[in-house]
Structure 1
Amino acid sequence: MRRLHSTIRRVASSDCPVLILGETGTGKEVVAQEVHDLSGQARGPFVPFNVTAVPRDMLEGQLFGYRRGAFTGAVSDAKGLIRQAEGGTLFIDEIGELSLDLQPKLLRFLESGEIQPLGERPQKVNVRVIAATNARLAELVRDGQFRDDLFYRLNVVSLTIPPLRDRREEIPTLVNHFLTVHAKQAGKFIPQLTPRALERLSAYDWPGNVRQLTNELKRIVALSDEDELVDEAHLSPIVRSAAAASPPAATDGTSVHVKLDRTLQEMYDDLERAAIARAMEQSRHNQADTARLLGITRKGLYLKRRRLGLDEGHAS
């Protein structure tokens, strides 16, 4: 992460687009905000926008704005998010979900600095764009679901945020930080964790990354009493059960040697296959519900199933 923060400082001084890559919950918006705060646009607004939060037929108006009467239901003028970010930064999360018909309009804006709100004339705007995705955009380009010219225009500088399981050494610091934040917000004393509880938190894989960790700590703050030591029994069942399934640590101070006949990626792939299979079963093979259970988008689910060689049947 030190290397990432060093790159952020260098990137912030330019005005080129930035593409942030990382799994769901890794803190892509936090990184985007940091780039903005260190940039020449820091005095301007930082406007975050998640593509999946708006119905597709409303995306163009939401981004580019429109004039009253431009379409049925346009009862007043709308500035649009791009113009709201004038002089600052527009952060577009889940850029891989942007529809193909809107992608050339975003590309035109990135290349010319000009937008055309619905029902209005073209206008110049001064906005830096930072985009983010948890999808593999190169695969979307290959599959014809994302324009290659837009991909190359956004990918001038890319920042990759590693998942929390790859930076476990940061977990104790994050635990202390978020416990303090949540306790202050709740007006409570900061809970004190036993070494065993902290060990369990550090050993868990956190598929939801920092977002899942902070929700776990928010739960601990809500349920703990003043002057009560928080032990592993206070952790959520999912964290406890995962810890219980882990091989026991050596008690003589030596490390446990495990014979590895597969690569780490192969083991992660097996875990992903099992998680997807379980979610598919719980959702009765409904793609949207499966993606929701896994905390990813439908397109992200499609790409994972394709990469893992899973059966594409039962789509709904």
Structure 2
Amino acid sequence: MDKKVRVAGIQNSRVLGDKDTNVPRGLEWVRRAADRGAQVIALPELSNTGFFPQHVDDSYFDLAEEIPGPTTERFANLAVQLGCYIIVPVFEVDAIHRVYYNSAALLGPAGVIGRYRKVHIPAWSRGVEKYYFAPGNLGYPVFELPFCRIGITICYDRHFPECYRHLALNGAQIVFSVNNTASQRSHHVWEAEMIATTSSNGIFLIQINAAGHEGESVFHGNSAIVSPRGEFIRRVEDGEHVLDAELDLHDLELARRQFSSVRDVVWRDFGLDGTQASHLLGDGSWGRPSVRNTHPRGDQTGEAAAPTVSRIR
């Protein structure tokens, strides 16, 4: 496995509820990132619709798509053309059970590799996500690419350290956190969470926010790429940007050897037996299943049987 990987996050603006505008814009941003050599590229949360859960409006359910679906197919075709991997957050519908999720699809040269469904769904004065989204039922899958292992979290998930600990214990080297964050409170803790998340789990973090105005929301940007030691590799403020960097996985291994909180975890607290330790400590034993999951409600393929929670129509 190559020890270096070039990653990118897209901090861009969208037009609320306008997929016909947002998808072509997203495709163009991905092309720009790939032109700079990015191998894995992530767009912000709800990249094709914008952040519509600001008000209750049943017409927004018409924006939901299956995975694969129209949006992911266009990005998958681009991934084939460019030879890269793309994380595309979308409003997903499980058409069989009529359950709706805030999801992120992982696409590559072979098509749809997998997906993550946002587990933690907030409810506060500036958003009504619980009206639209069921909590994700796929756990915290880790995806093996030819050059690295990645995990995905979505926005509010970042306030829950357990997400990142599950991903780290399950072998993730790089985590992409895709966001739509506008609140001043979140802005205040944004940087502190990135430092704590990376240094306590020994992972690279690419934390991507949206930019611009959507309805009543003004997204503050401030996307960043952070090292396993909690050091900022790249960061931007507001406005639209391609945020990219070359990450050296050897540096991750050194960081885990020098300060390895994952080594010192009491495994039974996470329902594990400790056999996972070898691939966390950088000894080269990477021959594990391509998608793995430590969450009790997810299976070993990154999919789950049937939804157990409801936003059902």
**TM-score, normalized by the shorter chain, greater than 0.5:** no
Structure number having the greater strand percentage: 2
TM category, shorter = under 0.3
**Higher normalized helix content (fraction of residues):** 1
What is the TM-score with the length of structure 2 in the denominator?
Answer: 0.25
State the TM-score, normalized to the length of structure 1: 0.25
Structure with higher RCO (Cα < 8 A, 6+ apart): 2
Larger radius of gyration: 1
